[in-house]
Chain A
Amino acid sequence: MDVIRAIESEQMKENAVNFHVGDTVKVHFTIKEGEKERIQVYEGLVIAIKNGGIRKTFIVRKISYGVGVERIFPVHSPRIEKIDVVRRGRVRRAKLYYIRTKIGKAAKIPELIIRKRPTV
């Protein structure tokens, strides 16, 4: 198993996950069109993170022209340039699959506000 772990860790990014489930993120993803390369930004809500070493993935959901779109990104993919966190969300579970059945206000995730502890 050590050999496999060594092979996997070669391509793994350090601190690749700088977000949590419930956050709204911008994923900068490189796309190859023939010879050309360009960066596409995909913005949406992270509804799940699935672990599995190099196979670790996360699901980003957005509503595009009234249609729900979900994309699964491998966390360690070399095609992910960077991930920006737009908004932190306050959620109480690890997987937000229930959001698929909600529309409008019910599908909203409240923003996470971290209060600083009052200094004594």
Chain B
Amino acid sequence: MLGLIGKKIGMTQVFDANGKLTPVTVIKIEDNVVVENRTVEKHGYSSCVLGSFDKKKSQTTKPYAGQFEGVCAPKKTLVEMRDFDKEAAVGEVMGVNMFKDVMFVDVVGTSKGKGFQGGMKRHGFAGGRATHGSKFHRDIGGTAMSSSPSKTFKGKKMAGRMGNERVTVQNLRVIRVDEEMQVLLVKGAIPGPAQSVVIVQKAKKK
């Protein structure tokens, strides 16, 4: 797996090579520092721990800062990448240019919280008709069978908290990589509000 930590800046549109307006999401990828390399011999699996975004010294506790000792200044976000494809020594700095030869990426983020929502919005239930004497509008309908089994099965789709969960969007085309601005443009939308932390990975299925 090849991935970096980034920040969603927002969406805009750019003209592509054919002069077509393309919707893009702007992802800022600041310098990612390799904080630790985990190995099969020592930890039982191999991974690479990346850190990004500077943290204020006044907001850093000593135990937290200890992880970064001798590597770099304490970072806000720490992400472990399993089976990192690239050889990276501790302290190595990686940036957007890692995605230069990459055509498609997957983006992992936390979706916007929607609060307590009904079955129609949360699971796409059809609901009932609005008029013609109908008294069944946005209800979820029956939730189980009859006297056998005489209960509602666990995990039945109902109303409840929606959003604010980890979401992956796969196979987003990389439109542009701007090293100067440390910015990556991908086609289409990615989960979460602006300024939220996202993980950009090389596409798994391409």
Contacts and interface: CB of A to CB of B under 8 A. Distances in A.
A106 interface: no
A4 B183 CA distance: 10
Given A3-B9, A6-B181, A11 B14 contact: yes
Contacts of A6: 181
Contacts of B26: 3-4, 7
The residue among A1, A7, A54 with the most chain B CB atoms within 10 A of its own CB is A7
Nearest to A29: B19
Chain B interface mostly? strand
Contacts, number: 41
A4 B19 contact: no
A7 B183 contact: yes
Interface in A17-60: 30, 32, 53-55
B60 interface: no
Interface in B39-86: none
Interface string B4-29: 00000110111100110100001010
Interface residues of A, number: 17
Contact of A78 (B10, B15, B181, B185): B15
Contacts of A3: 9, 26, 28, 181, 183
B56 to A, nearest CB: 22
Interface string A64-106: 0000000000101111000000000000000000000000000
A78 B14 CA distance: 11
A55 B13 contact: yes
A73 B160 CA distance: 45
A30 B19 contact: yes
A7 B12 contact: yes
B18 A32 contact: yes
Contacts of B183: 3, 7
Contacts of B18: 32
A8 B21 contact: no
A8 B12 contact: yes
Contact of A54 (B10, B13, B19): B13
A111 B42 CA distance: 83
A4 B13 contact: no
A8 B181 CA distance: 13
B19 A77 contact: yes
Contacts of B181: 3, 6-7
Interface of B: 9-10, 12-15, 18-19, 21, 26, 28, 178, 181, 183, 185
Closest 4 CB pairs of A and B: A79-B19, A78-B19, A4-B12, A3-B9
